[in-house]
Chain A
Amino acid sequence: MKVKKLLKRLKIEFIKVNLIQSSLDSLLFFLFSNLIFFLFSVQITASFENYVILGVLTSIFFLGDLFYRIRTYHLEIYEEKNPELREVLRTARDNLDKNNTVSQALFDELIERARSITSESIIPSREIIQKIVLIGFMCFLTVGSGLINFQILDTDSSLVPELSGGEGEDNRSERVNTSNSDLLNGSDVMGEPEEINVESRELNFDISGSGESETSDYSFEASSEGLTFESLDGGSEENRRLVKEYSLAIKNFE
């Protein structure tokens, strides 16, 4: 029946309009949340990047918003926007099962008048434009804050513990607190020193340079062209110990 099709078409038009509205709302939700999380350096969870979580949340928001909007559908929306259809649409909807002369006249008239009805009549243009402007503004803020790396709070904490088998907030903070003392421990940074067997090989290297050298007890010869280091064959236990100590001292100093 034509009127049934018409009423169905009107509902689809309504859904289309609200699809746009819900998309804009969801986009706003995403951009706003993303910006807030960035500005306050909030990490939702260590397991996933923020945008993944926000994407899921935005999808849920979109579906919920769209569902709510569709539930608010009523024909009076079209009647408000099309005064020539006031009470006609409702009457036709409530009398779809009638098959008599006057009802038929009503249906024919409705079909005739309804040709002019499009979703444009129920599009809240002003609201949509406002949302688009707001989205543009949010995009600008997002890009701007990213470029200048502006953050109100600069912390590296996650709101939700790592999702599976990850370390929790407690472990993480514990690690942060102990990191300074660990740095002082050369073995922790460099690993345990290994005993290198150098008895069976010789390493000769030349270092070119100029300058004066002071007389010292170290065994090397200096030439006017450069410094020539000669490896010691094996070296004594005392030398190896000294080399290790100096290496660690240099590391710690750095």
Chain B
Amino acid sequence: MGVGTVDRASKYDKLTKKITDIKEEVSKVMVGQDEAIEQVLVSILCDGNILLESNPGMGKTMMVRTISNVVGLDFSRIQSTPDLMPSDITGTHIIEESDQGTDFVFQKGPIFANMILVDEINRATPKTQSALLEAMEEKQVTVGNQSYDLNEPFFLMATQNPIEQEGTYPLPEAQRDRFMMKVKLDYPDTKEERRIVDRFTTELEFNPDLKKVLSGQSLIRMQEFTREVPIADDIRDRAILTVQNTRRNKDLDYGASPRASMQLVLAAKAKALLEGRNHVSTSDVDEMAKPILRHRIGLSFQAEKEGKNPDDIVEEILQSL
């Protein structure tokens, strides 16, 4: 075994150790929601953005804040309202007076962080949503006639409240496609809820000592590792076929784009890495299919009438393969 091989083997060992540490640190704060946490971590490893759907009080902010602390990222939160302007997010030019005179300087908005939580994105106007989507896609914002690069790495997690729809501006299909995955937070079971109550009611301020496992640079390196995870041709083809089948399913008005195929394969790679495996398994593709596809497909009227939801359709497609 050559020196280079040994070096690479130790790098891989360090990588898997760090992933284990991240999971351990996050579990110090979060109770349950293992699937959601894993999907968020997958998204971070894939450099993707997340659409979170949950009812209020499910610990979304806590989860995102904890993860950002553990992976060494700056965290910022934006509460969307109908009167939220793009400049409230991106920042604006302000007049600054100094000894040399008066000049316009750019005052950075809350979007200039590594990890952004945009609460109730569907309450923001389409204009503000577009500013956020530009940030997600281009990793830059444009103020006036000048563009500013965002911090690297950059993640945006937007939440939608599934209950209240009045006075909202639902994201169009094309814009939903830009989110890598849609993560659903379910209610905890009794045992988990008991632990949550115990954990957060015994101390005035529950603030455990969290270890910062990664830095921004090491996270970028991990993202590179994620793309290196090998996948067998037939497993890759299974992912592609899954996405293609959404386009010919009779219960769907429209299916997922080729971007979904790319992101399904990438998410499967990240999932494998999180599981401590150095190759993608069929189960990785299957488990990632729902969060990757559920917001990219449109149910037909007939399917909605029958009470089906996107997860049911994806499950049917997976079963048929």
Residues 88-114 of A, flagged 1 when their CB comes within 8 A of B and 0 if not, give 101111110010111111101100000
A105 touches B12 (CB 8 A): yes
Near A by CB (< 8 A), chain B positions 269-283 give 273, 278-282
Known: A87-B281, A108-B9. A102 touches B235 (CB 8 A): no
Q: A87-B281, A91-B279 are in contact. Are A104 and B8 (CB under 8 A)?
A: yes
* Distance in angstroms between the alpha carbons of A90 and B279 in the assembled complex: 10
Query: CB-CB contacts of B279-304 with A at 8 A, as 1s and 0s?
Result: 11110000000000000000000000
Query: Is the Cβ of B231 less than 8 Å from the Cβ of A102?
Result: no
Contact between A88 and B279 (Cβ–Cβ < 8 Å)? yes
Give A71-100 as 1s and 0s: 1 = Cβ < 8 Å from B's Cβ atoms.
Answer: 000000000000000011011111100101
Report chain A residues within 8 Å CB of B278.
102-103, 105-106, 109
> Interface residue count for A (Cβ, 8 Å)?
18
Find the B residue at minimum CB distance from A87. B281
Encoded as 1 (CB less than 8 Å from any A CB) or 0, chain B from 98 to 111 comes to: 00000000000000
With A87-B282, A91-B280, A109-B278 known as contacts, the answer to whether A104 contacts B232 (CB < 8 A) is no
Contact of B232 among A94, A98, A108, A109 (CB under 8 A): A94
Say yes or no for B11: interface residue by CB 8 A criterion: yes
Complex interface: chain A residues within 8 A of B5 (CB): 104, 108
Number of interface residues of B (CB under 8 A): 22
Within 8 A of A (CB), among B221-237: 225, 228-235
Q: With a CB–CB cut-off of 8 A, which chain B residues contact A105?
A: 8-9, 12, 278
**Residues from chain B with Cβ under 8 Å of A104 in the complex:** 5, 8-9, 12
Closest to B11 in A: A101
CB neighbours (8 Å) of B12 from chain A are 101-102, 104-105
Complex CA distance for A242 and B287, rounded to whole angstroms: 113
Q: Is the beta-carbon distance between A98 and B281 smaller than 8 angstroms?
A: no
- In the complex the two chains form, is A91's CB within 8 Å of B230's CB? yes
Q: Which residue of B lies closest to A75 (CB)?
A: B232
In the bound assembly, the distance between CA atoms of A98 and B279 in angstroms comes to 12
- Chain A hits for B279, CB < 8 A: 87-88, 91-92, 106
Q: Which of A90, A92, A104, A105 has the most CB of B within 10 A?
A: A105
Kindly name the residue among B5, B9, B15, B278 whose own CB sees the greatest number of chain A CB atoms within 10 A: B278
The reply to whether A91 and B228 form a contact with Cβ atoms under 8 Å apart is: no
Cα of A55 to Cα of B282 in the assembled complex, Å: 49
> Are B230 and A101 closer than 8 Å at their CB atoms?
no
A103 touches B228 (CB 8 A): yes
Contact with B along A160-182 (1 / 0, CB 8 A): 00000000000000000000000
Residues of B participating in the A interface, judged by any CB pair closer than 8 Å:
1, 5, 8-9, 11-12, 15, 225, 228-235, 273, 278-282
Q: List 23 A-B contacts (CB under 8 A).
A: A87-B235, A87-B280, A90-B232, A90-B233, A91-B230, A92-B230, A93-B232, A94-B233, A95-B231, A101-B11, A101-B12, A101-B225, A102-B230, A103-B228, A104-B5, A104-B9, A104-B12, A105-B8, A105-B9, A105-B278, A106-B278, A106-B279, A109-B278
